[in-house]
Amino acid sequence: MDFIEKFSGVFLIAGLFLFFMAFIGLAVVPVWMVDKVEPRQEIATSVPKLYLDTYSDVETYKAALRKGRDIYIAEACWHCHSQYVRPTANEELRYGPVSMPGEYQNELNLPQLFGTRRVGPDLSRAAYKKSNDWHYAHLYNPTSVVPQSVMPSYPWYFEVKDGVPQPKEEAKALVAYLQWLGSSVVEKSESFASYIDNPLPPKE
Amino acid sequence: MTQAEHKKEELIDYKLISWHFYAGIFYIFVSILAGLSYSLQFLQKYPFPGVEFLSPGRIRLVHTNGVAFGWLINGLVAILYYIIPKLTGHSVLSRKLSYLVFCVYNVLVVGCVIGYLAGKGQAIEWGETPAFLDPFIALGVVLLVINLLTPIFKIRAQKMYVSLWYAAAALIWTPLVYVMGNFLPQYIYPGTSGATITSMYIHDLVGLSVTPLGIAATYYLLPVVMKRPLYSHALSIIGFWGLAFFYPLNSAHHYLFSPIPMWTQYASIGVHVVVYTVVFNIFATIATDWKQLPDNIPLRWIFFGTLAYLITCIQCAVQVTLSAQSIIHFTDWVVGHSHFVLFGTFSFWVTAWVYYILPRIWGVPLYSLSLARWHFWLSALGISIMQIDLLAAGVMQGMMWKNLVPFIDSVAASAPFWWTRTFSGIMILTGECLFLVNLYSTWQDSKRVSSGVLQSQTV
């Protein structure tokens, strides 16, 4: 039993063998399973109705989604907003249908954006809950639409023309991405607008 | 000092060790300032609103990564440069390589901070280092590992002291974990399959890198500062092999109830009991002469760090159950827990080392015991208040969400907890300021006395 106090035991068995056993069991096998059961999906096959006026064809729409996702990562939105609905704690009542593995098998989830904290609400069912204009106003100054919000403002994605802030390309792309989150699910089920965490009416 | 001891001293590069500690102390200061300003965002009082490069989301990255990679890794690597030559009797592979790794590593840390502020962070928790810097970081880690493993490899036929088990294992785990977590989910596996790997990464970085290095440091320092042997060798063996066996199997608990395969989530409810052997071993050693606690400054930092470790381990065992996760996941509970782990436990253990080694390197006693006591109590009370406050906030938030209260009401109800968090943060920052003053004054003292090891290479 001397090996458990020597380099051989510590380095080879604890360091390499036990680590790779766990890696195979808890990473390689589940990854292989998910990839087998849920094939990778296209992020969009056509331009949604909401964006027919904005994006002429599906490729420009997809480019906007990618750009929006990159901004979502750059501003570390995923630190305060999660992207999955759990089958517990009444989340299917608050947000929408429980998340399924296949929803996330696409290029916009490379890397995945599940998140581990909800300072703000979950966003995996954000599609069409609020209008584009609500999102622009909210990104420009969150407290203007939700007075108690602790979300930071993102004015650098807007330019002020004649005293009125207008969204730049980046803001449009980010909102296109937010309106895409869960859109594949909303088409199949009813509108998410009936769920509980609906926009609060702005306080007078 | 015998001749053999003298020879061992020559194996140690004190200048390098002090450089690593200076860098680490600089980063913890930056990190705490970043964390404090980030906490003001929750009070709607952020000091730099609307400034793109100081956006709270980006500042948060500086806070978390500064603590983990700037402060803890610099400190733990400095400790390795001390204990590995001491325990093996061999020097590291190359001193030039040590300085090269020091420079490259700290340039990379600064590069990461600039990257975060420019909006180039990567969406991998605890691996937010910009994707284009990841290959260089991986290379730097491999060089560091080769440099530090060489002396351990040279004594492979002999039995090793417990610190070296943890150090050797952590040195092989760290590069594996880093490469696994930063490249596979970024480039190869999307969404659900990527999340199984990311959750393993988040867990392993703490469990297989910071934890074993912290335990290695403490198992070395405790007998040295107490001048007493470690309580039990058998407990050390159980603790080490328990960690090596169970920790990697515990990895899915960051995404319980998520779409990743359910059986990996059950597997995360492993046994945490084995880590209590470490806690028992340290406390039993202290108990053999507990009257040293009031006056032995490094010992009190070890003591509180171990107490915090015990509390976090009890929390871990509760948290990884599905029923607890249902309420506390996504809430401030998790934030409180991680603060207690990284500050309450590991920062305290590394700070014990700073108090032990820097005055020895400079060749003078610590400037002020009273400042050191203030630093200790402000840190210990600050982190305890923050922990209790955030745990309570977490339970409240989880209950409000489950009871379908409008989301924004849970935010409004959290305000008193977030105020308390900011005040506890100010306590911690004050403690760190006293720490700096104390170290600076000690260093000033050393310039008048020229008997430090840097001059004579003896302790």
> How far B109 CA sits from the closest chain A CA (Å)?
18
> How far A18 CA sits from the closest chain B CA (Å)?
6
> How far A137 CA sits from the closest chain B CA (Å)?
14
Which portions of chain B are predicted below pLDDT 50? 456-459
Residues B407, A197: C-beta atoms closer than 8 Å: yes
Q: Which residues contact B302 (CB under 8 A, 6 or more apart)?
A: B218, B221, B222, B225, B282, B286, B348, B349, B352
* pTM of the predicted structure, to 2 decimals: 0.93
Q: Which residues contact A101 (CB under 8 A, 6 or more apart)?
A: A34, A37, A38, B191, B192, B259, B260
Residue window 62-101, chain A: list those with CB within 8 Å of chain B. Answer: 73-80, 82, 84, 86-91, 93-94, 99-101
What's the token pair of residue A95?
């947000």
- For chain B, the domains span 3-456
- Measured between CB atoms, which of B254, B261, B334 is closest to A34? B261
- Measured between CB atoms, which of B190, B403, B412 is closest to A106? B190
Q: Is B365 on the interface with A (CB under 8 A)?
A: no
Chain A residues in contact with B254 (beta carbon < 8 A): 116
**Helix B162-183 with B73-88: angle, nearest 10 deg:** 140
Q: Which residues contact A103 (CB under 8 A, 6 or more apart)?
A: A124, A182, A184, A185, B191, B259
Q: Is A52 on the interface with B (CB under 8 A)?
A: no
ipTM: 0.91
Given a contact cutoff of 8 angstroms between Cβ atoms, the answer to whether A15 and B247 are in contact is: no
Residuewise pLDDT in 10s, chain A (204 residues): 788 888 888 888 888 999 999 899 888 898 888 888 888 888 888 888 888 888 889 999 999 999 999 999 999 999 999 999 999 988 888 888 899 988 899 999 989 999 999 999 999 988 888 889 999 999 999 999 999 999 999 999 999 999 899 999 999 999 999 999 988 887 655 555 556 554 444 444
Using the 8-state DSSP alphabet, how is residue A199 labeled?
A: P
Chain A residues in contact with B123 (beta carbon < 8 A): 73, 76, 78, 111-113
> Each residue of B315-341: pLDDT tens digit?
888 888 888 999 999 999 999 999 999
pLDDT, residue A71, reads: 96
Q: Is A117 on the interface with B (CB under 8 A)?
A: yes
Q: Is B30 on the interface with A (CB under 8 A)?
A: no
Q: Is B47 on the interface with A (CB under 8 A)?
A: no
Q: What is the CATH number of domain B3-456?
A: 1.20.210.10
Cα(B61)–Cα(B121) distance, rounded to whole angstroms? 8
pLDDT, residue A129, reads: 84
Chain A residues in contact with B241 (beta carbon < 8 A): 4, 14
Residues A7, B159: C-beta atoms closer than 8 Å: no
Highest CATH level, class, for A49-194: mainly alpha
Query: Among B119, B396, B46, which residue's Cα sits nearest to residue A149?
Result: B46
- Measured between CB atoms, which of A5, A6, A84 is closest to B258? A84
